[in-house]
Amino acid sequence: MQKSSRARFFIAFLAMIGTAFFLFFAWKIYLWKSGKEPDLIAEAVRQAEQKDYAIAMADTYGGKTPQETLQMYISAVEKGDYELASKYFIGANQEKELKSLQSSKRENIENIIRLLKQTLQSEGSYSEDKKGYGIIEPLYVRFKIYPNGIWKIIEI
C-alpha cells in the first residue's frame, strides 16, 4: 500500500509540474502574440492606406480646382452622361450618385443643375489643411483633393 501511495503522489506531482509548464508556456505564447498583434493591425492599416492611395492616384476624373470639378459634373449631367458625372465624386460615393441620377426625374435634375450653376458663382472656403473645400449656398457642396491634385466631390 505504501508503494501505491508513493506512485499516486509521484503521478500527481508530475501532473502538477506538467500543468505548471503548460500554463507557463501558454502565458508566454499569449504575451508573444499580444505583442505582435499591434504590428499586424498596423501593417493591415498601412496596406489599406497604400491601396487607397494607389486608387486615388489612378483616378483622373476631376478638375484642378473645386469649381472646375463642379463645372465638369454639371456638363456631364446636362449631357445625360450620368456615369461620367458620378466619376467626379469620391470613390466611395460614385455608385450612390449614379443610382441617384438614374432614378431622378428630369425636372428634378434640371432644378439641381440650375442651383448648382448658382453655387458655382458663390464663394466657398478651404479647410485649414487646404485638402477640403466647401460651398454653402444655394446648395451645400463639399470637395476633397486627391493626392494627384484632382478635386473630387464628396457630397452635394
**Contact present, 113 and 75 (Cβ < 8 Å):** no
Query: Which single residue is written with the C-alpha cell 469649381?
Result: 67
CA atoms within 13 A on the CB side of 85: 22
Question: Model confidence over 98-154: pLDDT tens digits?
Answer: 999 999 999 999 999 999 999 999 999 999 999 999 999 999 999 999 999 999 999
**Contact present, 145 and 151 (Cβ < 8 Å):** yes
Distance CA 110, CA 127 (A): 30
Average pLDDT estimate for 4-23: 78
Using 50, 70 and 90 to split pLDDT, how confident is the model at 55?
A: confident
Task: Answer whether 0.85 is exceeded by the pTM.
Answer: no
Q: Which residue has the higher pLDDT, 131 or 13?
A: 131
pLDDT at 20: 81
Backbone angles phi, psi at 75, to 5 degrees: -60, -45
